[in-house]
Amino acid sequence: MDVLVPFDAREPKTRLFPVLDTDERREFARVMLADVCAAIAATDREPTVLSTTDVDTNWPVVVDDRPLSDAVNDAIADSDRAVAVVMADLALATPESLECVFAADGEVVLVPGRGGGTNAVLTRRSDFRVDYHGVSIRDHRKQAAAIGVEPTTVDSFRLATDVDEPPDLAEVLLHSDRAAATWLREHDITPAVSEGRVTIDRGT
């Protein structure tokens, strides 16, 4: 099985701007990437980072500056093995949650993200195509149907939680003890309650 981890090394996590400046966003994105790759490696599979530019990691890196869907689709078409795609901002991912995806039955396995996204895909069909624009989980179900496949869905809190906006940081702090959570604490970012909702606060 090939396991790809797409990564935007240029301007990652722009929606975290209210909390993190440009350099901090880049650093935090790399920490999350390392957490995801380490979790994949703990399942005895080697991740390959599919990055928009070269990035310093402990894992193999393939540089492809095309749009995400194009880069992933070529990787699927060119592989003679199953291909899994795991997003780089799944800071709550664990080896156990990922193994549920890698071991799932079915020719196409989908992990929905919150808000209509797709946070992980496993395809055993080289003719399956991804489309990460818009409501991608709906589009991926349609793509599977188009090739005659009923997709398997893996429902996972840990894998459905991607980190895009400031409130997502609270989930990392509350539910993870990995490097991304440590990084946030070291930068004085802590959970807070506002109008009955858990959000984050940054000390000064």
pLDDT the model gives residue 203 = 75
8 Å CB contact between 89 and 39: no
Q: pLDDT tens digits for 147-171?
A: 999 999 999 999 999 999 999 999 9
pLDDT the model gives residue 55 = 96
- When pLDDT is cut at 50, 70 and 90, the band that residue 193 belongs to is confident
Neighbours of 60 (CB within 10 A): 11
pLDDT at 197 over 90: no
Tell me the residue length of the chain.
204
Whole-angstrom distance, CA of residue 171 vs CA of residue 72? 28
Whole-angstrom distance, CA of residue 44 vs CA of residue 36? 13
pLDDT at 65 over 70: yes
Q: pLDDT tens digits for 124-143?
A: 999 999 999 899 999 999 99
pLDDT the model gives residue 167 = 92
Q: Which residues contact 56 (CB under 8 A, 6 or more apart)?
A: none
